[in-house]
Every structure is written in structure tokens, then in C-alpha cells.
């Protein structure tokens, strides 16, 4: 049975981080971090993955406002400038008290930024749904080896997020094992019309070279009704450690993804944990724009409007294809049914060309501003020179006029001509 049908019945630092491990509840660390994770440098360029997803096209219609997206991770650092005003009080399952705004690892802050980071002057990065509210749910203290969390803690967190009326619950981690309690928690959230979006996990290293072999299911991604998310690179090709299996419903960029670092600045991370928030944020955009749709209908719409990628629609490596925020919000499905639509043609994406284009646009904008300032300064100097000469010469013939560039001459071309990008 296809994953789409399975959804129907249910109402500058580089890391490669795939998941988390939580110690038993009796040994969980205190909320205060023994050492804060290192902040990042502010990156001004528009990230490649945001050029690919192009979510800004749909912001005039919806930014995810009034939708709460729960992030079940290591907490979210509320000090980050782009996350101020984006968070509501969550819960800290590490200390079992209200909170969630402490992040000793930085992983949850990265996920939250991809969901709802606010735009900022001079910064190209922003969340896919910058109007959404992020609900931080801290289920782990810090990152250690492995990619698992305790199923019991995760089950409690999912139930709590559903009780807080989260429209979307983001699970960028994998449970250590499937349990009846975890399955019941997912069903509990779905009964309250919350869409659970989960990372597909990390593929076993020995299988990376063979995409024809299916991985063992990971949970909660493999539970019915949960949107399981795989990771692709900038060219739309599956990342080697992204799992292959029927529980992969949809894919999103998950290779060197730029996002928010703890406290300030930005960092890059990889894995399905970085792909899941793009899908969760897109779901928030749809839920804000179409509040009449149920969680099941939103999930169907995301899959139906995904763009085809290398594996083709419905493949065990790519699911329905690459999530597309604009199509998910705006596309009219025939008869209102969530049928798979003809997609955009597969494109070969030159990542370096995209970055070069982003740098060029930033440089061009700066050049115009600099040229305008220089032009005003030169004209001012010319005026002062004329006044000075008149004062020295006294009355007499008018001095010859100072030639100025015609209106059809761009100041940027006259005073500052930046190198143009090479033609491809």
C-alpha cells in the first residue's frame, strides 16, 4: 500500500548531525548548560536551499501566522535575534518543568530556525514559515553518538504538544524502538488534528552505496499518518545517509543546510533532521492559508504538489518528491482531491552558480548604494567649488558650467562597475 493511501484512513561551522540519544530519566542533566554551544557567524547571502524552495513567493499570501509548530529536540535558544518573538513557552522534559528555551547542543535551535526564524536586515536566511509560532519541547540534553531517543520520552512529548494545540509536530529524531506507547501517542496527536512530521533517520553506513536495498523502518516516521521526510542535496539527489523505504513520503534539502546557531549567527548542518523542518514549515503555511483542511488533507496536499526528483514520484527513496511551499499553498487540485499532479521538469542545479548569483545580487545592491553616495558627494564638491570660485573672482562672466552625466547613465556604471558573473 502506498504511503499516500496509508495517510487516508487516519483522522559558518559544518556538522553532520543525524540524531540524538537521551540518558535514562533518572540521569537527565539539569537545564543549565555546563558550556554553551559556540555561536555562529552571521551569513548575509541567501542560502542555496532557500533559492530552491523559493518559499518567499508565497509569503504575500501566508507566513504561517496563527499556526503553532512544536519542535521536539534539544530545546530552542530564545536568545537568537531571528527567534525573538517566535517562541511561546514550551516544556522541558529534561527537568520536567515549563521551559524549553535552553539548548545545550544547538540542534533544536537549528530546527526551529528552519521553521520560523524571522527575516532580519542584512541576512538572507529566514524560516520557511516566518510567521509561525514555535513551541519548544526539550526532550534531550545534548548530542552524543547515535541517532536515537528514548521512545518513552518521545511519546510523552508528542502527547504534550498535541494538548497545547500544536497544528504541526516536528520530530527531527528517531525513537530507539517502536513501542505501543509511542504508537498511541502518535494516534492521540492525530485525533487532535495535529500533523506529525518526522525525519526518516539515518541509513546504515554499509547500505549507503546500494540504494536498491530498503532500510529497517524508523519511528515515528513509519507509523501510519506520519509524514516521513528524506534528505536530498541541491541537485535533488538523495543524500547517501538518507534512508530508503516505504516510510519516506517526501524529501527536502538536507545537505549543508544553513540555519540558526545558538545565541546568534548561523551554521550549516546535514541529515534528514534538517529536511524535516522544511516540510513541517510548509505544512504550517498550508494550515494558515487553508484552515478548513484537516491534518490528513494537509499531508496529502504536500505529497500531491511535491516536485519530481531523480527517483520519480512514489519511489522508496524520494516518496512523492521535493516539497514545494508555493505549489502546496496555491495549487488547485482537480475536484478537490489530493491527486498527484504533473510536476515541474527535473532541473540540474548548479549549487555554486546559485551562490554566485546570490552574491552578485547582493554586490549589485551595494554597488548602487555606494555609487549613489559617491555621486552625491561629487556633486556637492562641484557645487562648493563653483561657490568658492565666484567668491574669489567677484562679479563677472558666469563660469563655464560643470558637465554632469545624462539621465540615461547609471551612477553604478559611471563610478563603480563591479565584475559581471561569467556567462554559462
Instruction: Report the distance separating Cα 150 and Cα 176, nearest Å.
Output: 6
CA dist list (Å): 281 to 11, 170, 235, 276, 328:
21, 9, 21, 9, 11
Instruction: Report the distance separating Cα 341 and Cα 345, nearest Å.
Output: 12
| Structure-block grid coordinates of residue 89 | 513557552
Whose grid coordinates read 524552495?
Answer: 53
**Tens-binned pLDDT, residue by residue, of the chain (424 aa):** 344 434 433 333 333 333 333 333 333 334 568 777 889 999 999 999 999 999 999 999 999 999 999 999 999 999 999 999 999 999 999 999 999 999 999 999 999 999 999 999 999 999 999 999 999 999 988 755 445 788 999 999 999 999 999 999 999 999 989 999 999 999 999 999 999 999 999 987 767 667 778 888 999 999 999 999 999 999 999 999 999 999 999 999 999 999 999 999 999 999 999 999 999 999 999 999 999 999 999 999 999 999 988 766 678 899 999 999 999 999 987 655 544 444 333 334 455 554 555 454 445 444 444 555 555 556 655 555 544 554 555 544 443 333 333 333 333 333 233 334 444 4
Helix 272-289 vs helix 295-304: angle between axes, to the nearest 10 degrees? 110
CA dihedral (184, 187, 192, 195) positive or negative: positive
Contact 248, 228 (CB under 8 A): yes
CA dist list (Å): 53 to 223, 263, 324, 329:
27, 26, 6, 13
Query: Residues in the chain, how many?
Result: 424
Q: What is the 3-state secondary structure (H, E, C) of the chain?
A: CCHHHHHCCCCCCECCCCCCCCCCHHHCCCCCCCCCCCCCECCCCCCHHHHHHCHHHHCCCCCCCCCEEEEEECCCCCCCHHHCCCECCEEECCCCEEECCCCCCCHHHHHHHHHHCCCCCCCCCCCCCCCCEEEEEECCCCCCCCCEECHHHHHHHHHHHHHCCCCEEEECCEECCCCHHHHHHHHHHHHCCCEEEEECCCCCHHHCCCCCCCCCCCCCCCCCCCEEEEEECCCCCECCCCCCCCCCCEEEECCCEEEECCCCCEEEECCHHHHHHHHHHHHHHHHHHCCCCCHHHHHHHHHHCCECCCCCCCECCCECCECCHHHHHHCCCHHHCCCCCCCCCCCCCCHHHHHHHHHHHHHHHHHHHHHHHHHHHHHHHHHHHHHHHHHHHCCCCCCCCCCCCCCCCCHHHHHCCCCCCCCC
The 8 Å CB, 24+ separation contacts for 368-372 are 368/411, 368/412, 370/415, 370/416, 371/410, 371/411, 371/412, 371/414, 371/415, 371/416, 372/411
Q: Give pLDDT, residue 370.
A: 54
Instruction: Report the distance separating Cα 29 and Cα 290, nearest Å.
Output: 41
Whose grid coordinates read 513557552?
Answer: 89
Amino acid at each position: 500500500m502506498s504511503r499516500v493511501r496509508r495517510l487516508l484512513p487516519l483522522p559558518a561551522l559544518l556538522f553532520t548531525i543525524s540524531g540524538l540519544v537521551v540518558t535514562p530519566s533518572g540521569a537527565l542533566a539539569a537545564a543549565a548548560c555546563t558550556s554553551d554551544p559556540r555561536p555562529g557567524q552571521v551569513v548575509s547571502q541567501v542560502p542555496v536551499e532557500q533559492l530552491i524552495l523559493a518559499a518567499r513567493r508565497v509569503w504575500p499570501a501566508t507566513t504561517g501566522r496563527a499556526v503553532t509548530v512544536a519542535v521536539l529536540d534539544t530545546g530552542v535558544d530564545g536568545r537568537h535575534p531571528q527567534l525573538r518573538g517566535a517562541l511561546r513557552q514550551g516544556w522541558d522534559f529534561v527537568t520536567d518543568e515549563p521551559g524549553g528555551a535552553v539548548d545545550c547542543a544547538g540542534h533544536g535551535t537549528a530546527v526551529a530556525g528552519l521553521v520560523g526564524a524571522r527575516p532580519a536586515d542584512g541576512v538572507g536566511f529566514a524560516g520557511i514559515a516566518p510567521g509561525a509560532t514555535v513551541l519548544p519541547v526539550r526532550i534531550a540534553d545534548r548530542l552524543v553518538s547515535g541517532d536515537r531517543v528514548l521512545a518513552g520520552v518521545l511519546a510523552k512529548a508528542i502527547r504534550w504538544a498535541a494538548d497545547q494545540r500544536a497544528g504541526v509536530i516536528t520530530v527531527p529524531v528517531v525513537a530507539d524502538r517502536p513501542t505501543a506507547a509511542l504508537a498511541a501517542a502518535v494516534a492521540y496527536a492525530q485525533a487532535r488534528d495535529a500533523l506529525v512530521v518526522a525525519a526518516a533517520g539515518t541509513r546504515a553506513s554499509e547500505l549507503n552505496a546500494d540504494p536498491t536495498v530498503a532500510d529497517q523502518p524508523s519511528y515515528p516516521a513509519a507509523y501510519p499518518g506520519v509524514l516521513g521526510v528524506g534528505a536530498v542535496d541541491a541537485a535533488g539527489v538523495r543524500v547517501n545517509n538518507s534512508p530508503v523505504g516505504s516510510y519516506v513520503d517526501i524529501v527536502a534539502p538536507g545537505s549543508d543546510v544553513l540555519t540558526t546557531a545558538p545565541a546568534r549567527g548561523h551554521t550549516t548542518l546535514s541529515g534528514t533532521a534538517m529536511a524535516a523542518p522544511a516540510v513541517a514549515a510548509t505544512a504550517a503555511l498550508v494550515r494558515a492559508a487553508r484552515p478548513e483542511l484537516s491534518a490528513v488533507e494537509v499531508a496529502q496536499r504536500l505529497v500531491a504538489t511535491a516536485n519530481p526528483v531523480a527517483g520519480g514520484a512514489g519511489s522508496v527513496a524520494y516518496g512523492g518528491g521535493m516539497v514545494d511551499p508555493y505549489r502546496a499553498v496555491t495549487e488547485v487540485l482537480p475536484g478537490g482531491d489530493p491527486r498527484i499532479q504533473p510536476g515541474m521538469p527535473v532541473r540540474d542545479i548548479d549549487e555554486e552558480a546559485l551562490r554566485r548569483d546570490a552574491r552578485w545580487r547582493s554586490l549589485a545592491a551595494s554597488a548602487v548604494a555606494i555609487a549613489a553616495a559617491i555621486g552625491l558627494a561629487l556633486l556637492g564638491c562641484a557645487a562648493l567649488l563653483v561657490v568658492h570660485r565666484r567668491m574669489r573672482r567677484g562679479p563677472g562672466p558666469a563660469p563655464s558650467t560643470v558637465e554632469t552625466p545624462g539621465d540615461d547613465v547609471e551612477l553604478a556604471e559611471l563610478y563603480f562597475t563591479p565584475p559581471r558573473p561569467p556567462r554559462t
